[in-house]
Amino acid sequence: MENLLLVSAPADGIINGTIQLPASKSISNRVLIIRALCQNDFPIHNLSEAEDTKTLVTALDSEGVTHDIDAGHTGTAMRFLTSYLATRPGTFYLTGSERMKQRPIAPLVNALQQLGANISYSEKTGFPPLKIKGQKLRGGKIQIDAGISSQFISSLLLIAPSLEEGLEITLSGIPVSSEYIKMTLGLMSNFGIEARWERNVIKILPGKYQAHEITIERDWSGASYFYELLLLSEKGSLFFPGLSAKSLQGDEILWQWFGHLGITTRFTQEGAYAEKTKGHPEFVSFSFIENPDLAQAMAMAFAGNDIQAVFRGLETLPLKETDRIKALQGELVKLGFSLAAREEGIWQLRKTAWPQLQRQVNFKTYNDHRMAMACAPLALKLGQVGIYDPEVVNKSFPGYWDCLRQIGFKLIFDAQKESTDS
C-alpha cells in the first residue's frame, strides 16, 4: 500500500499568486562541505531545508562522534562525503539506501585512490557502501570520465585546496551537467580559491578557504514545476520572491526556455514575475546535457499540452534517484505519449494515442521527488490526478504541496489507496 494524494486544479484553469521557492540544495550542500573544510566557522543564511541537505548536515555533525555514516537517498551526500572523509582522520563506513547501493561510484573512488586515498568496497565492487580510512592526501594529476556524473568532479574540486600538491583534473569524454561544475568553482572562488579551467583541464593550487557569511539563492530547479503550471494553464502569472537571473545555477536558463513557449519573465530587485502571454509551438527541440533536472517537468508539460519534441542529453537520467527514462516512459503512456530513443543521443517525445481518461489518472513517483512534482501540474489538464508517495518531495522541496494549495489547488490525502495503474 502506498500513500495517495489527490490533486484538484482550479476549475477555471487560471493560476495566480506568489511562490516562495526553497533554497538551492545544490548550493547549500557545496557550501556545507566548504565550511567543514574551512578553518573558521561562518554563518549560512537561508540554508536549504530539503531532506538532502539535512542528511548532509547530520553526517557532518556526526563525523566526530560516529564512524558509521548513512547518506540515505542523497547522491550529493554520498559523493561529497566520499572525498571529504578521505581527507579526515579516522575510519569511516559510508553507506546509503538500497537505490544508492545501485548507483556507481567507482570513477570517484578510482580518482581518489590515485591521489593516495585508502578506500575499499564493503559489498559490491564499484558501488557503495564504502570503507574509508581518512588521511592527508598528496594530490597531483588525475584523469576522470566527465560523462558519468558532474558530482564526482565537484566532489574532487571541493577538497582540492586541502591537498598537499593541489589538484589537476583532466576531463575525458563529453562532460555532462558542466554547469554544476561551474557552480562549484564559482562558490570556491567566493571563498578565496581560484581555479584555472582551460579546455578539458581544471587546475587548483593548494590553499585555504576564507570564511565569510553567505545567503543561499532560491532554487531555480524548483521553479520549473511552476513554469510548467503556467504552460498548462488557461492563463496566469506567478511571482517568485528572491529569484534572480544573476545566479550560480545552470537551471536559471529555465526562464529563457519557457520564453520560447509563451511564458514571459520579468526581473526586479524583489524577484521574478512570470506570466503566460501567448500560445506555444506544436513542436520543440531541447538539449538537457547541462540541465538534466529540468527534463521531467518539460516532458510532462509538453505531453499535457500535446507538444511533440526532440530531446537530447538524457544520458545521465537512468543513474538518478530512479531510472528517470523508464519512469517517464511509464507515466507518459497514461497521457497517450511515448519517449523513445531514435538514434544515439536523440529521444523523441510524441503522441501515440488518444488516452482514455474516463477514470482519474494516478501517477507513480518511483521514490523520485522530481517525478512527483512534474506529474502534479497535470491536474490543470485532467481536473484531478493522484500522486503516489507524495512525501518524496521532501528530498528537495518540502513546501511544494503547500505552494500548490496557496494558489488554488485542492489536496486530499488518503493513505489507504492501493497502488494500481490508471
**Residues taking part in catalysis:** 293
DSSP states of 117-149: -EEEESSSTTSS-EEEEE-----EEEEEETTS-
* Cα–Cα distance measured from residue 74 to residue 71, given in angstroms and rounded to the nearest whole number: 6
Nearest to 237 by CA among 267, 258, 265: 265
Please name the amino acid found at residue 66: T
* Cα–Cα distance measured from residue 69 to residue 94, given in angstroms and rounded to the nearest whole number: 5
Please name the amino acid found at residue 361: V
Q: Find out whether 26 and 76 touch, Cβ atoms under 8 Å.
A: yes
Q: How many CB atoms lie within 10 A of CB 269?
A: 5
Is the four-CA dihedral 152, 349, 396, 184 of positive or negative sign? positive
Paired sense of beta strands 308-312 and 283-287, if any = parallel
3-state per-residue secondary structure call for 166-229:
CEEEEEECCCCCHHHHHHHHHHHHHCCCCEEEECCEEEECCCCCCCCCEECCECHHHHHHHHHH
Is the four-CA dihedral 37, 41, 43, 48 of positive or negative sign? positive
44-78 burial code (b ≥16 CB/10 A, e <16): bebbbbbbbbbbbbebbeebeeebebbbbbbbbbb
